[in-house]
Chain A
Amino acid sequence: MRRLSAILLAALAAAAPLGAQNITFTTWHTPAQVDYETDRLQTRFPSLVRIVNLGNSLQGRPIRAIKISDNPALDEPSEADVVFVALHHAREWISTETALFIAEQILLKYSTDAQVQADVKAAQIWIIPVMNPDGYAYTATVDRGWRKNRRNNGGGTWGVDLNRNWGFQWGLIDGASDKPSEEEYYGTGPFSEPETRVIRDFLNSRKARLEAFVSYHSYSEKWLRPWNYVLNDPPFDPTLASLYERSRDAIAAVHGHVYGPTLNYTASGDALDWVWQEHRIAAFTPELRPLNFGLGGFEPPVTEIIPTGQENTPAALALIHDAADTEVWIKDHPADTGAEPSAVWSGGGWTHAFWLSPDIWTDPAAPLVEGSTVDLHVRVRNASGGLLAGVTVEAYWTDPSISTEFPGPGSVLIGTHTLAVGAAGAEVILPWTVPSGTNAAGDRHWCVGVVIKHARDMPLTTQATRSSNVAFHNFWTVEAPAGGEMMMKVTATNFLDVDAELKVVLGELPAGWRARLPDLHTLAPDTTYGEPGEEDDRLALERKGRLVQATGTLLRPGERVMVPVWVTPPAGAPPGTTADLHIHGGLVPLVAGERPVLGNGFTYRIVVRNP
């Protein structure tokens, strides 16, 4: 008996270290093994990992996230959220393996890599290894090649393609299917499936600090960026393109596999497009190994698992670092500390006038003279504590618009400059010839935006409030007679890819000054960037407006409206008296659920002129 006990003890002692062993990536993990290894990550790294059940699949299986953070049991809303999702498609097992691999690598590096440790402390990383657990179970037991979830569609067909069920551009049939028997069947409605709803609701719950989203698929070795519903139309290419190039470089640096640029066919209603449209953040879809069907297709040799994980880890870490840390930054407003978001919309407008960056100014100062060349000054701040070489400053000008972003569709590059930035920061001077003539609103009001990039700190969005790497400054001065009413025009363009409602709120003026707006609901768009709206489109827009009880101006994608603002200085105000009028603008997309506000504002410095 004593001998048996000794054997048992020895066996237990031998078994104990198993709990601390790294995950073995030399075989495919069954669904039960994925759950086991996921649980074991929490056991192995209890101070860094919590397993969170985000919701359940159609058949009731949990959709689990590995949350990695320095305080995983706490929700830390000030920290950036980065989300990695795998296995939309059941047969793409290597995506689950890669997600597990990356999760473990982050945790292992935490104790040896100071940068990873700092990033984990500054971010909340969510890794969802199996988004489609019903399909995964089916591939493990019945049909290895199954793609969809396991919805009983009736009529003898099963499954909805979860990556055609997201709610942006859902329902197109060139890149999805309305036929339940088909592999790309889009379902009975956008977000008809619990699996997509679970991930959508989770992303929306993190929206305040959601910075990056990666959806792993296989196969063909590509790194895809939006859009997927159309060919060759990436929005705001410079921001996503920079990240995309860096990610591909990071992958290629590991084993020499150069992930290709784009698909040459469309896919509508996918996660990537929805995330970009809804959250305007970095969103990518890697198509993992193997390269082609001949190398194994959805069932590559198990020896591909580790190199796939290895080559994708640096790209994932770089995105986490972008989201987590501020190396270089620029102030959006005087009180800006670099934290994101730097301003938020409340009922009375934006909490800060973030369109007046104190780190962007001209010499000579405003008012600007059209056609003149001024020195554009940009202050670059460095929070890294050391010298940062290779910092790039890009400056753009554009017509001012409530929908300004940098770079945006109308941005014109003023210039770029690359420099080393010390701990005290640096100042960059770029020559800028102020555009001649009037802008789209018929006046002389320009907006300058700056984007700061460093290989270790890239902007993840074009929105100034959401990125400490992006800021802008409106340059504008007007004169008005004392006691007389003058009209100014505010331009707003719907740069979103969905219909939107324009809201405009006027800031407070000193005593005696008055300002007023028209009834926004009565304003009609005066210009479109694309094709003029069809009558049916306009009716649909108005119907959507009624569904959300919109009170602002309704704009289709690309449409522009001029909003008149009337200002009256007090009668008897001496010449030279000034007042600043902040005009807060927001575009609110006509979408279901909570509607985020995007946009910015103008500040008019009004000078009372001589009678």
Chain B
Amino acid sequence: MKRSIPILCLLAACQRAELPGPAPLALEPGPALVAVQVHDAQEALLLVQALGGTEPRLAGGGRLYFDEGLAERLRGLGFPPEQVDAGEVRSAVVRAYGTEAQVRASGARLLRREPKYLLVEGTLNELGALQASGVALAQPGAREPRPLEVRVTMPAEADVQQVNVIGVDIYQSEPTATGWMLTGGAYEWHIDAMVAAGYGVERISTVSWE
């Protein structure tokens, strides 16, 4: 049965997930990191080569994040390192026993709406803020996180790329009598973004690892 996603979203947002009473999750920021800006993949590879194969710990937004101990070598290679708050860049997926409003307020992203909890992803600082707001956090299950399978309808072929940019794992797309349709894997925050963009979204599998 095709369901109305906006109504579901609204209902879910108002519903407080059931608290199981797990032990508080310790959010460890890990070793200190420094960031360097790289222009493209070639420069990233050349830098790793110049570092003797030492790989970055994280990457994103045109930046590579290395252990703090490499700061001087990076500077010597022409890449001025910038101290970063590891809690701002390291992320985690957790089960959250709170409301969607609390998740949104923390800045974390909603991955799955499960009957007994919300699966969310956020930086350690975002998750710390969520925890500080009174939301209990717990480790995800061994098979989490996994996207939902969705069918998305849209007016034009060009919208397929818009869905791609939102972050949906597109399996396949094809024209329909009224526009275009694709199937893919999506988290709840992708679905919310697609709905907000005016696309029709239908969940075609609701497998849960709970």
A residues lining the B interface (CB < 8 Å): 142-143, 145, 147, 154-157, 167-171, 174-175, 177-184, 186-192, 219-220, 231, 264-266, 269, 287, 291-293, 297-298, 498-499, 536-537, 540, 543-544, 546-548, 589-593
Contact = CB atoms under 8 A, between A and B. Distances in A.
17 contacts: A147-B169, A154-B90, A156-B144, A167-B42, A170-B44, A171-B62, A181-B91, A189-B44, A219-B171, A231-B161, A264-B157, A265-B161, A266-B161, A293-B172, A293-B204, A297-B172, A547-B47
The interface residues of chain B, by DSSP majority, are classed as mixed
A192 to B, nearest CB: 6
A142 B50 CA distance: 40
Interface string B159-202: 01101110101111110000000010101000000000000000
Given A156-B139, A167-B42, A540-B39, 13 more contacts: A157-B121, A157-B145, A168-B42, A171-B40, A179-B167, A182-B147, A188-B59, A189-B64, A219-B172, A287-B172, A297-B183, A543-B39, A547-B46
B164 A175 contact: yes
Nearest to B161: A265
B41 interface: yes
The 10 closest A-B pairs by CB, nearest first: A155-B92, A540-B39, A183-B169, A265-B164, A178-B60, A170-B41, A592-B45, A220-B172, A156-B93, A293-B183
Interface in B88-109: 90-94
A177 B183 contact: no
Contacts of A540: 38-40, 43
A368 to B, nearest CB: 40
A540 to B, nearest CB: 3
A186 B56 CA distance: 13
B172 A190 contact: no
Contacts, number: 158
A548 B50 CA distance: 9
Interface string B22-58: 0000000010000000111111111111100001111
Contact of B42 (A175, A179, A266, A592): A592
Contact of A178 (B39, B43, B59, B151): B59
Given A190-B41, A265-B160, A548-B46, A174 B165 contact: yes
Given A155-B93, A179-B121, A544 B57 contact: no
B91 A543 contact: no
Contacts of A231: 161
A189 B171 CA distance: 25
Interface residues of B, number: 59
Contacts of A187: 59
Contact of A188 (B58, B121, B185): B58
A156 B140 contact: yes
Given A169-B41, A190-B45, A155 B90 contact: yes
A291 B93 CA distance: 34
A541 to B, nearest CB: 8
B2 interface: no
A591 B42 contact: yes
A539 B139 CA distance: 44
Interface of B: 30, 38-50, 55-62, 64, 77-79, 90-94, 111, 121, 139-140, 143-147, 151, 157-158, 160-161, 163-165, 167, 169-174, 183, 185, 187, 204
Contact of B187 (A142, A181, A220, A593): A181
Contacts of A157: 92-93, 121, 145
A168 B64 CA distance: 16
B45 A292 contact: no
Contacts of B77: 547
A181 B121 contact: yes
Contacts of B163: 265
A182 B167 contact: yes
Nearest to B207: A145
A287 B170 CA distance: 13
Nearest to B190: A182
A536 B93 contact: no
Contact of A190 (B44, B58, B145): B44
A266 B111 contact: no
B93 A171 contact: no
Contacts of B94: 156
Nearest to A590: B42
Nearest to A177: B167
B39 A537 contact: yes
B39 to A, nearest CB: 3
A143 B147 CA distance: 12
Contacts of A190: 41, 44-45
B161 A155 contact: no
A221 to B, nearest CB: 9
Contacts of A292: 172, 174, 183
B170 A265 contact: yes
A147 B204 CA distance: 18
Nearest to B62: A171
Contacts of A543: 39, 43, 78-79
B182 to A, nearest CB: 9
A558 to B, nearest CB: 15
A142 B78 CA distance: 46
A157 B111 CA distance: 12
B147 A183 contact: yes
A544 B43 contact: yes
B173 A264 contact: yes
Contacts of A174: 161, 164-165
Nearest to A142: B143
Contact of A192 (B55, B111, B121, B140): B55
B59 A189 contact: yes
B47 A143 contact: no
Nearest to A138: B143
A314 to B, nearest CB: 24
Nearest to A293: B183
Nearest to B140: A156
Contacts of B30: 154
Given A142-B143, A591-B46, A155 B91 contact: yes
Nearest to B77: A547
A547 B38 CA distance: 13
Contacts of A156: 92-94, 139-140, 144-145
Contacts of B43: 540, 543-544, 547
B92 to A, nearest CB: 3
Given A156-B139, A180-B91, A189-B55, A544 B157 contact: no
B91 A179 contact: yes
Contact of A191 (B45, B50, B144, B204): B45
B42 A143 contact: no
Nearest to B50: A547
Contacts of A499: 42
